Structure 1
Amino acid sequence: MAKLEKFADILSRACERKGGLEAVEALLPDTLSAQEITQYSDAELLSVMSKRVFQSGFVWKVVEHKWPAYEKAFFDFEPHKVLMLSPEQIQQRATDATLIRHQKKTQAIVDNAYMVQTLSAKHNGFAKLIADWPVNDIIGLWQLLKKQGARLGGNTGPYFLRTIGKDTFLLSQDVQAYLKAHKVVDAGFTSKTGLNQTQAAFNHWQQESGLTLAEISRIISLGVGDNRL
């Protein structure tokens, strides 16, 4: 792994491209405190997670438009109620014209309800598990979601975390392009080596800058490429 660029230089480049520090700061994402994250219910988290699964590779506006129907069809995403659905009821929802016809993503709602319920019981709340997870090992939380959940690999799990306010970086195309161009990562981004190299770099920049992982990730994006955030 090459020597890391000073974060002040990364920020300076973003400011130059976007018209100054104030303009950059206006584009930075917000994060919530651990205490705020613990206020989420299991149902709220399952709903957000499921929406992110459906939005992956699909038109987000369509998913948003149909989501009230999902809330009704899946009992407001209360995990224990979702888990009471029979295979026939799940199949009916997967082919319902008022929803999105996708068997595997519909089944993922049920599979992730099981994960949320199981981890919630083990950690005194699924939200508490997320809130307490150290951000200097955020890739560990990504891997937990991918391993124990359904269709939460790639950027889906991280985008779910970003949506609920958990501090995390995102491996957007622009961030990946920067990390590769500057030889910060010399392995695949889905590999253990690549993820560890990425985490180490972000931890370094966080200590150097005092910013959140989310802010650092966004600033890198603003300084390169087409700014796919």
Structure 2
Amino acid sequence: MQDYKWLNEYCLNRFGSAAALEAHLPSPATPRRLEAISNDRYLSTLALRVFRAGLKHSLVDAKWPAFEQVFFGFDPEKVVLMGADHLERLMQDARIIRHLGKLKSVPRNAQLILDIAHEYGSFGHFIAQWPVTDIVGLWRYLAKHGNQLGGLSAPRFLRMVGKDTFIPTYDVVAALNAQNIVEKVPSSQRDQAAVQAAFNEWHEQSGRPMCQLSMMLAYTVNH
């Protein structure tokens, strides 16, 4: 695989200057910021990610105020009490997206947040303290213990709340393939470990956040 020096020079050549490159790169939230996010806002973002999957984001976002209303502001203590009858009634509410599987995921993920908050003090603390050098481990944890958080949903959720993570998008996977790191989307633990190791190496060489390295890597194939 190429080292960070090659990656940086490639991106500098593409954008013409360091300032232009920096303007196109995201910045992760600080641990303090992640800890300050309340459990209800984490649940809202988690649900938003689940409903965005496979749908036009603008369509989902336009309906989100109604979602906030019918899910009690995404207070996990209230949402976790929503039973099957309540969810069936929501299937008749035209203001929201009536997908029963995704609706069921909300109280299930509310339980996830409450369980983690009970153990760690808050969901935000749990997210903040997870090391970025094993961010794929956090993906797997959320996919295993949450609902409808497989595939790219966990890393995209983490990016939405500001947790530093790379995301194996089409362009990133193509770039990883070009460097003989993985051949396809890293769904197995072996492939995820290989990708994590590569990002850890670039992270150590550069000191850059994973989200910036991820985007820089995508720029090497996205013209």
TM-score bracket, normalised by the shorter chain, equals over 0.9
Give the one of 115, 131, 152 matched to 2:128: 131
User: Does the 8 A contact of 1:31 with 1:166 survive in 2?
Assistant: yes
**5+ residue gaps, structure 2:** none
Is residue 38 from structure 1 mapped to residue 35 from structure 2 by the alignment? yes
Give the one of 10, 20, 32 matched to 2:17: 20
- Deviation at 1:32? 1.1
**5+ residue gaps, structure 1:** none
Is residue 197 from structure 1 mapped to residue 208 from structure 2 by the alignment? no
User: Does the 8 A contact of 1:95 with 1:103 survive in 2?
Assistant: no
Is residue 68 from structure 1 mapped to residue 65 from structure 2 by the alignment? yes
User: Does the 8 A contact of 1:95 with 1:102 survive in 2?
Assistant: no
After TM superposition, the score normalised by the length of structure 2 is: 0.96
Moved over 3 A (4+): none
The percent identity for this pair of structures is 35
Cα distance in structure 1, aligned partners of 2:192 and 2:3: 20
Aligned counterpart, 2:104: 107
Aligned counterpart, 1:140: 137
Code of the residue aligned with 2:41 in structure 1: it is: E
SS in 1 for 2:36: coil
- Deviation at 1:9? 1.1
- Deviation at 1:8? 1.6
User: Does the 8 A contact of 1:111 with 1:149 survive in 2?
Assistant: yes
- Deviation at 1:24? 1.5
SS in 2 for 1:38: helix
Which aligned pairs between 1:51-200 and structure 2 lie closer than 5 A?
51-185=48-182, 189-200=186-197
Cα distance in structure 2, aligned partners of 1:188 and 1:175: 9
Code of the residue aligned with 2:112 in structure 1: it is: M
After TM superposition, the score normalised by the length of structure 1 is: 0.94
Give the one of 208, 211, 217 matched to 2:208: 211
* RMSD over equivalenced CA pairs, Å: 1.2
